[in-house]
Amino acid sequence: MSVELGMPALPAPVLSERRKTRQLMVGNVGVGSEHPISVQSMTTTLTADVNATLQQIAQLTAAGCDIVRVACPSADDAEALPAIAKKSQIPVIADIHFQPKYVFAAIEAGCAAVRVNPGNIKKFDDKVAEIAQAAKDHGTPIRIGVNAGSLDPRLLKKYGKATPEALAESALWEASLFAEHDFHDIKISVKHNDPVIMIRAYEILAEQCDYPLHLGVTEAGPAFQGTIKSAVAFGALLRQGIGDTIRVSLSAPPVEEVKVGIQILQSLNLRPRKLEIVSCPSCGRAQVDVYKLADEVTAGLEGMEVPLRVAVMGCVVNGPGEAREADLGVASGNGKGQIFVKGEVIKTVPEHQIVETLIEEAMRIAEEAGDAEGSGSPVVTVS
Ligand code: SF4
């Protein structure tokens, strides 16, 4: 039974229909237009260190990551793949550069998919028949992952640099080689650090093939810049229905990538929303420290699993209106906070009790939702 909490009823409105694609399975995660858009990240541990890698994968899983990629630059890493693939709770993709032999090792290891970079795998085109056969035998999908920094030299020569056309042509050329061997379990990425080039490259791909597409702005930078670049680029493509899996690349812990990826999808109603804080930016009319209040409420509600929109507003101009529209809200002023639940003022509390009151009410709503869904206890953590 679904619980009405004032959030948009599901299915929530989306900006575009998904572009129709072929479907494939990465482990137990479906990828393609018939499946939800999945969020990926990549471990930063030495893959050969099985325990550290599995620990990081567990953190990513807890953060909501759907599929994880691990690098495989050495024989030690390749040897670790069977244990990692077996013990990971989410599908593991092996990321292979330079050495074709590791493609086979990853397939044999039971990885859920293998990412190959045709631009830097030795004599890749000559190996396609063998790779396609091995992948087919094991039911392993292949991601053709073209990257601006390691574009096939032939295309670099033809186009002079990593243009959108060069990126798309490289990927489509490799896909055509696999198709010649009747292998179609392919998804494609064409990453560039410039969102404008990246967007155009994916648009070309979307026009010219029906393979699922994995979106990424590569080397997007530190968290602030990378988040913005990825959100803008993914937004422009998702607006056109383009994109079946995403990875936000940040120079930051991979759990942050997952949080940003999920938030991007939630913002566009491409994934059900959970906790959403509607807080005002504050201004000269604010009669309370809105930043502090919003931070404290956000921290107090971290881990909330039910969809809940909480409005934290600084004064009576927009406060009552926004607070009324949310599941739960506060409009502050004169050292007090008017607490709204589902559009009704339920009480007015002194300013120092606003945070605890909101958290209490949120827990009560979560409990009701939990009861309604038969899941028992509330899932709010108070820190
Ligand atoms: S709600 Fe009030 S304090 Fe917040 S931005 Fe609007 S006018 Fe300013």
| Residue of minimum CA distance from atom 6 in ligand 1 | 318
Residue 245 has phi, psi (to 5 degrees) of -140, 155
Provide the residue type at 254 as one letter: P
Could you tell me the distance, in angstroms and rounded to a whole number, from the CA of residue 281 to the centre of ligand 1? 7
CA angle 194, 71, 21 (to 5 degrees): 60
Could you tell me the distance, in angstroms and rounded to a whole number, from the CA of residue 352 to the centre of ligand 1? 19
State which of 312, 318, 324, 351 you would mutate to test the pocket of ligand 1, scoring each by most atoms of that ligand within 8 A of its C-beta: 318
Is the pLDDT at 149 greater than 60? The verdict is yes
Cα gap 156→170, rounded to integer Å: 10
Which position has the higher pLDDT, 368 or 252? 252
State which of 277, 278, 282 you would mutate to test the pocket of ligand 1, scoring each by most atoms of that ligand within 8 A of its C-beta: 282
Could you tell me the distance, in angstroms and rounded to a whole number, from the CA of residue 312 to the centre of ligand 1? 10
List the structure tokens of 232: 């803008």
* pLDDT tens readout for residues 159-212: 999 999 999 999 999 999 999 999 999 999 999 999 999 999 999 999 999 999
Among the residues of 215-300, which ranges form H helices?
A: 223-238, 254-267, 290-300
How many other CB atoms sit within 10 Å of the CB of residue 175? 22
- Report the predicted TM-score, pTM, of the whole model to 2 decimal places: 0.87
State which of 277, 278, 279, 280 you would mutate to test the pocket of ligand 1, scoring each by most atoms of that ligand within 8 A of its C-beta: 280
The answer to whether the CB of 310 falls within 8 A of the CB of 358 is yes
The number of residues making up the chain comes to 383
How far is C-alpha 154 from the geometric centre of its chain's CA atoms?
33
**Averaged pLDDT for residues 212-231:** 93
Could you tell me the distance, in angstroms and rounded to a whole number, from the CA of residue 14 to the centre of ligand 1? 29
